Amino acid sequence: MALHPVIDRVTDRIRERSHPRRTGYLSKIARAGEDGPRRAHLSCGNQAHAYAAMEDKADLAMTARPNLGIVTAYNDMLSAHQPYERFPDLIRRAAHAAGATAQVAGGVPAMCDGVTQGRAGMELSLFSRDVIALAAGVAMSHDVFDAAVCLGICDKIVPGLVIAAATFGHVPAVFLPAGPMPSGLPNDEKAKVRQDFAAGKIGRDKLMAAEMASYHAPGTCTFYGTANTNQMLMEFMGLQLPGSSFVNPNTPLREALTVAGVARAAQITRLGNDYTPVSAILDERAFVNGLVGLMATGGSTNLVIHLPAMARAAGIDLDLQDFHDISQAVPLMARVYPNGLADVNHFHAAGGLGFLIGQLLEAGLLHPDVRTVAGEGLDRYTAEPRLAEGALTWVEGPGESLNDRILRPAADPFAATGGLHMLAGNLGRAVIKASAVKPELHVIEARARVFHDQNAVKAAFQAGEFTDDTIVVVRFQGPRANGMPELHSLTPILSVLLDRGVRVALVTDGRMSGASGKVPAAIHVSPEAATGGPLARLRDGDLVRLDAVKGSLDCLEPDFAAREPVTADLSGNAEGLGRELFAAFRAHAAPVDQGAGIVV
C-alpha cells in the first residue's frame, strides 16, 4: 500500500523543518561513535573501578562481551514499577545466557500522578521528566555500557528515558515494560463512584473501597492513560519488542519477553553485526508513526507535550499542526477507557497493537520502512508473542478484531478522524481529547467563570454557583506559573454538572490526566497566562466558544484584543514540598507547544 498523502506530506514537512537541527544532531552522534565502543578507551584504572563489585569482572576486563547498562525507574510505591524490583537479577542472568554482562547503571525518579493529583507534588510532576533525563544521562556517562536496557512505564518516566536515550544516540537502547495489572473494578464503575462522592451521595468508605478494588495489584493502571499510551508508543516507534506492552506482570510470557529483550540488546551493540543505535531508530518516520498510533488509539493528551520534547532530543522539530493534520487523516480504531468501557487487558485480548499496526500499515498510514530494536521493518510488530513448550516465539497476529466494540479495522472505525484535535483562536492554541467527549458536547458556547486555582473551582461547586452553562477557565497553571499540574481532580465535579444538564467545559493552560474523560477540555493553552498569553485577558462573564468541530477557541467579546493582561500573585507556588528546588525549571521552561522542557 502506498503511503497516505497526508502522512507523506507531514513527514516531508517535519524533515524539512528539522533539517538544520537533525543534521547537527547526527553529526554530534557520529563524533561520539567514531572511535568505536567507548569502553575500549577507558584506562585500566577506570575499568577496575567499574567492574570491582562484579562477580564476572574477568569477562569484562579480558573479553569483548557486550556490557548492558540497566537504567531503572524501580520503586515499590508505583504499582506499575513494583515488578521491576526483580528485573536486574533476571537481566543479569539473561545477559550471561546471551554472552553478555549487565550492571545497574543508575536509578531515576518515578513519581505517581495518581498519588499527587490535586496536591502540591503535582506541580513537580512535569518537570520530573527532565530530572529523569538528567539522571539517566548521569547513569550513561560512565562510558562502560555497550547498550542501555531501560526500565520505565509511567507518565514522565518513558519520555525522560527516551530523551536521555536520544541524547546518547550512538548507544543502542531497548525498553522493557512490566505490563498492566489484571482487570479490577471496571473503570466506568470507579468513575461513577467518584462522581457520587463529589455529589455527596456516598461516604469516603465506599469511595476508598472502590479505589482499592480498581488499583489492586502490581502493574500499570488498566485505563488508557499516559502510562499505557507510552507503552503503545514504544512499540509504534520501535523501541520495545513486538507485542510486549500489555502482557501482565509476573507471568511466564512476561519473563520470556524480558529475557528476549535483553538478548536483543546484546545483539545490537557495536560489538556485533547488527548495530542499531537509537539515532538510527528515532528519525522523523518513527515520530510520525508515534503520532499515528496516538490518534488511532485516542491516547493521552500528555503525549502532545512529551513527543515534541522527545523529538527535540533527536534533532527533530514537531509542531501542533503536525498532530492536527495527522489526526484528520487517521481513523479512531480503539475504544479503551476513558474513550470506552474496555480496559487495556480487554484491548489486548481483542487483538491489541498487532492488529492495529497491521491495519494501519495496510491503509498506508504508517511508515513501514523503519529500523526497530527487533530489526528492519514495522511489519514485525504485527506479530504476537507466544510460549510454545516453554520457548518464546512470534506467530502471525490476528487478522480481524476479536471484539469490534473495542477494536475496529481502519475501514470501519469508530470515527473517521483521530482522538486529539488542535484548537486555535484568539485565546491561543490548545488541544482537546475529542474521542472521549460526546459529539453533542464538541461545541460549547457559554459565559466564562475565571479562576486562578483549582481549589477555588471546587469551592464554587460546593457553594452551588454553577447553575447555568459555563466555560470554567483555570489559568496561571502553565509551566512558568506553577509547573503545569494536571487538573484531573476537577473531572468528577464537572462530570456531575454535565449529568445535571449543565453544559460545561474547561479551558486551561494546565494539563488534564490521560484518564480524563467526558468533560470537553481545551488544555495546554499556549501562550500561557503567566507570560501574558490571551487567557490573562479573560474576565468573568465573557462569552467564550470552544468548537472542536472547526478547531477554534475564542473569546467573542469585541474589546478582547485591546485589554491589558492581568497578573497573578504566584508567590505561593514557590515554596513547600520541594517547589523551591524547581525554581529554575519554572523560570526557564520552554513553551508548552515546544515540549515545556528545560534540558531540550
How much is the pLDDT for 218?
A: 95
Tell me the β-bridge partners of 424: 429, 552
562 vs 59, 156, 176, 448, 546, CA distance in Å? 71, 38, 53, 18, 21
pLDDT of residue 516: 63
Average pLDDT of span 102-114: 94
Residue 186: the pLDDT is: 84
Q: What's the mean pLDDT in 28-46? A: 81
pLDDT of 492-539, one tens digit each?
A: 899 999 999 999 999 999 998 755 668 999 999 999 999 999 999 999
Q: What is the pLDDT of residues 423-446, one digit of tens each?
A: 999 999 999 988 778 899 999 999
8 Å CB contact between 406 and 347:
yes
Identity of the residue numbered 196: D
Between 577 and 247, residue with greater pLDDT: 247
Nearest-angstrom CA–CA distance, 52 and 106: 16
Among the listed residues 181, 304, 192, the one whose alpha carbon sits nearest the alpha carbon of residue 246: 181
- Give the H or E element holding residue 552: strand 552-555
Length of the chain: 600
d(CA 63, CA 50): 15
Residues 488 and 339 in one domain: no
Kindly state whether residue 600 falls inside one of the protein's structural domains: no
pLDDT at 296: 97
Q: Which of 396, 428, 459 is the last residue of a domain?
A: 396
pLDDT above 90 for 312: yes
209 domain-assigned: no
DSSP letters, 413-455, are -SBSS-SEEEEEETTEEEEEEGGGS-GGGSEEEEEEEEESSHH
Do 316 and 22 contact (CB within 8 A), yes or no? yes
* 3-class state of residue 361 by DSSP: helix
Whether pLDDT at 59 is above 80? no
Do 322 and 464 belong to one domain? Answer: no
Nearest to 457 by CA among 476, 443, 441, 434: 476
The C-alpha cell that represents 142 in the structure block: 560512565
How confident is the model over 534-547, as pLDDT tens digits?
A: 999 999 999 999 99
229 part of a folded domain: yes
Q: Are residues 90 and 154 in the same domain?
A: yes
Looking at the structure, do residues 177 and 79 belong to the same domain, yes or no? Answer: yes
Higher local confidence (pLDDT), 36 or 468: 468
Q: What percent of the chain has pLDDT over 90?
A: 80
pTM for the whole structure: 0.95
- Whether the CB-CB separation of 363 and 1 falls below 8 Å is answered with yes
pLDDT of residue 213: 86
Residue with cell 484491548: 347
Under a CB-based contact definition with an 8 Å cutoff, are residues 221 and 182 in contact?
Answer: no
Q: Are residues 425 and 390 in the same domain?
A: no
- The CATH number of residue 482's host domain is 3.50.30.80
The answer on pLDDT for 263 being more than 90 is yes
CA dihedral (311, 68, 255, 393) positive or negative: positive
Per the prediction, the chain carries an average pLDDT of: 94
Q: Is the predicted pLDDT of residue 362 greater than 70, yes or no?
A: yes
Is the CA virtual torsion 468, 532, 524, 415 positive or negative?
A: positive
pLDDT at 518: 83
For 273-284, write each residue's pLDDT tens digit.
999 999 999 999
C-alpha cell read off for 350: 481483542
Model confidence at 402, pLDDT cuts 50, 70, 90, reads very high
Please tell me the predicted confidence (pLDDT) of residue 61.
72
Cell 475501514, residue located: 411
Mean pLDDT for 469-480 is: 98
Residues 352 and 472 both lie in one domain:
no
pLDDT at 414: 95
Kindly report, residue by residue over 158-194, the tens digit of the pLDDT: 999 999 999 999 999 999 999 999 998 887 888 889 8
Q: Domain range holding 563?
A: 420-594
Task: Give, to the nearest 10 degrees, the angle between helix 284-297 and helix 303-313.
Answer: 170
pLDDT at 42: 77
Residue 490 pLDDT: 92
**387 in the same domain as 427:** no
> What average pLDDT does the segment 289-309 reach?
96
150 is in an annotated binding site: no
Please indicate, yes or no, whether residues 576 and 434 belong to a single structural domain of this protein: yes
343 in Cβ contact with 336 (< 8 Å): yes
Q: What is the pLDDT of residue 514?
A: 57
How far is it, in rounded angstroms, from Cα 328 to Cα 1? 19
Query: Average pLDDT in the 203-215 region?
Result: 88
SS3 for 13-28 is: HHHHHHHHHHHHHHHH
Per-residue pLDDT of 7-25, as tens digits, reads 999 999 999 999 999 999 9
How much of the chain exceeds pLDDT 70, in percent? 99
| Local structure of residue 332 (DSSP, 8 states) | B
Q: How confident is the model at residue 197 (pLDDT cuts 50, 70, 90)?
A: confident
- Does residue 354 form part of some domain? yes
The answer to whether position 489 is within a domain reads: yes
Determine whether the annotation assigns residue 221 to a binding site. Answer: yes
CB atoms within 10 A of CB 532: 14
